[in-house]
Amino acid sequence: MTSLSPFPTRAIVIVLDSVGAGQLPDAGAYGDEGSDTLGHINDHVLLHIPHLRSLGLARVARIGGPVLPPLGACGRMAERSAGKDSVTGHWEMMGIVLDRAFPVFPHGFSAAVLSAFSSRTGRGVLGNKPASGTAILDELGAEHMRTGKFIVYTSADSVFQIAAHEEVVPVPELYRACEIAYEIVAEGLGVGRVIARPFVGSPGAFTRTSNRHDYALPPAGETLLDRMTGAGRHVVAIGKIQDLFARRGIGQAIPTTSDDDGVNRLLEQMAVVPDGLIFTNLVDFDTLYGHRNDIAGYAANLERFDRRLAEILPRLRETDLLVVTADHGNDPATASTDHSREYVPVLVAGAGVRAGVELGTRHSFADLGQTLAELFHVGPLAHGSSFLREVLAS
């Protein structure tokens, strides 16, 4: 391919965790019929997100207002994999399509699982049911503080979550309990993730801390990250990316305490990483607002990110490719507090990207991974169709 514009040598991928763009055709099979994360938020709060609009968000999501020609390329992606959790979404973005969803436990875990967990950790269990992470602290937090028993809960996703007060169970002990649970339910049953959920505070005022830690199954196949590290390329993971990929295929992992902190870490890496992939997840959309059905908070976080996007865009180098996307939905306007099966936006910008390109509806999140594999000459991957030649100026 010949090009008058600089050919990208660095990709910056930002995942706005749970920022869905409307129900997928099979949403009803997941109990998500009618879900529309961005659309329903905009129904309640008139979103002021000019920079996301400039990238074409209004062309792919129902957010009203002016529909401007995008500065670069825009479209939406459908999830081909079975499931609607973060692991599945991120894996598919990087080239893995799952035919079977991870197992879920709508009635809690078996007595045998809990007995093995309690025996090996030396602590009993409270809860053992699907629950909102904040609601179950209100319900069982005081009893946990009295008894020292772990709070174990799940959700519509394939997760075994363990909550413990940091003054009752030291964080290293909680992490060790998660490692034990991983052996029992992840390696033993194929559960997608075990999650440490430490919290602080007193009854009626509990707060989860940034010491959350995810223990995920390793990817079920070769990913773009594996290909890039195998080829000696830079791969920097910011936020929970390292947990979702079980740290595989990642050269440098940088934890974050908030979405603002995530953007700060991203800007730092943009200043020093010369090429390769900077892969960032901003999780507050999901954990603080989607799962809590907080429409106003979700809208405010979108506007905060939009203001930070105004800092990111002018710092792009001529050889940068910026992608803003999501991994699933989490509609705060529905009765459910779980993830929702939705399309996700894919917004592409950079000096080498043609303006006004409509990518349409991509049939898989894996199209993103395949595009980056072509960009970095490490493909082709097993799944996905590259849109690189559609977006690059020539």
User: Where along the chain do its domains lie?
Assistant: 10-100+217-391, 111-215
Taking residue 381's Cβ as centre, other Cβ atoms within 10 Å add up to: 24
CB 305 within 8 A of CB 50: no
Domain 10-100+217-391: which CATH class?
Answer: alpha beta
Q: Which stretches of 148-190 are DSSP H helices?
A: 171-181, 187-189
pLDDT at 3 over 80: no
CB 234 within 8 A of CB 275: yes
Is residue 252 helix, strand or coil?
Answer: strand
Encode pLDDT of 249-261 as tens digits: 999 999 999 999 9
- pLDDT score of 254: 97
Encode pLDDT of 79-114 as tens digits: 999 999 999 999 999 999 999 989 999 999 999 999
- Average pLDDT rounded to a whole number, residues 253-276: 97
Q: Give 119's contacts (C-beta < 8 A, 6+ positions apart).
A: none
Q: What is the DSSP letter of 186?
A: I
Share of the chain above pLDDT 90, in %: 93
- pLDDT score of 210: 87
pLDDT at 24 over 60: yes
Encode pLDDT of 65-83 as tens digits: 888 889 999 999 999 999 9
What fold, for 111-215? Answer: Alpha-Beta Plaits (3.30.70)
Residue 297 CB-half CA count within 13 A? 13
CB 100 within 8 A of CB 118: no
Residue 177: pLDDT band (50, 70, 90) is very high
- pLDDT score of 156: 82
**Token pair of 251 as six digits:** 């050269």
213: nearest Cα among 176, 251, 263, 267: 176
Question: Which of 155-159, 172-176, 337-341, 353-357 shows the lowest mean pLDDT across its residues?
Answer: 155-159
10: nearest Cα among 224, 274, 226: 274
> Which sign, positive or negative, has the C-alpha torsion 167, 179, 211, 284?
negative
- Average pLDDT rounded to a whole number, residues 301-308: 98
Residue 1: pLDDT band (50, 70, 90) is very low
Question: Which of 146-150, 227-231, 287-291 shows the lowest mean pLDDT across its residues?
Answer: 287-291
Encode pLDDT of 41-60 as tens digits: 999 999 999 999 999 999 99
Q: What would you measure as the largest C-alpha separation in the chain, in angstroms?
A: 69
Q: Is the peptide bond before 380 cis (omega within 30 degrees of 0)?
A: yes
Angstrom distances, CA of residue 209 to CA of 146, 199, 200, 256, 316: 20, 5, 7, 12, 32
pTM of the model: 0.92
- pLDDT score of 4: 57
CB 252 within 8 A of CB 266: no
- pLDDT score of 297: 98
pLDDT at 355 over 90: yes
Q: What is the DSSP letter of 340?
A: B
- pLDDT score of 116: 98
Encode pLDDT of 197-244 as tens digits: 999 999 999 999 989 999 989 999 999 999 999 999 999 999 999 999
CB 392 within 8 A of CB 352: yes
